[in-house]
């Protein structure tokens, strides 16, 4: 049923929230995340490659659930001419 305030998902508990800005041409080599976290892109674009070789582009409004806490992880690079700005929401 539609509510006056819109549609909501069930609440998800969060541990911390922080912001990050990565500058154009930035590239971060293979790494894992310390804990599961949502990464929400506010502006700019980035490409993330996972160990299988799959690459995905993230732009404004995209949400990634990063959960590769072990193994090779992923690598990240800013592919826009403007900074890639994100919000990280770490999960318990």
pLDDT tens profile 72-83: 999 999 999 999
Q: Report which of 46, 54, 51 is spatially closest to residue 76, judged by C-alpha positions.
A: 46
For residue 21, give the H/E element and its range: strand 16-22
pTM higher than 0.85, yes or no? yes
Fold of 16-90: Jelly Rolls (2.60.120)
Mean pLDDT of 5-23: 93
Whole-angstrom Cα distance, residue 62 to residue 84? Answer: 12
Q: Which residues of 30-59 are buried (b: 16+ CB within 10 A; e: fewer)?
A: eeebeeebbbbbeebbbbbeeeeeeeeebe
User: Greater confidence, 57 or 6?
Assistant: 57
User: Taking the domains of the chain in order of start, what are their residue ranges?
Assistant: 16-90
pLDDT tens profile 27-56: 999 999 999 999 999 999 999 999 999 999
pLDDT confidence band for 91 (50 / 70 / 90)? very high
């Amino acid at each position: 049923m539609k509510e006056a305030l819109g549609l909501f998902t069930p609440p998800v508990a969060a541990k911390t929230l922080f912001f990050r800005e990565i500058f154009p041409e930035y590239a971060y080599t293979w790494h894992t995340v310390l804990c599961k976290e949502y990464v929400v892109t506010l502006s700019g674009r980035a490409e993330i490659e996972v160990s299988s070789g799959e690459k995905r582009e993230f732009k404004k409004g995209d949400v990634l659930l990063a959960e590769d806490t072990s193994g090779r992880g992923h690598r990240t690079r800013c592919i826009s001419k403007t900074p890639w700005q994100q919000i990280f929401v770490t999960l318990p």
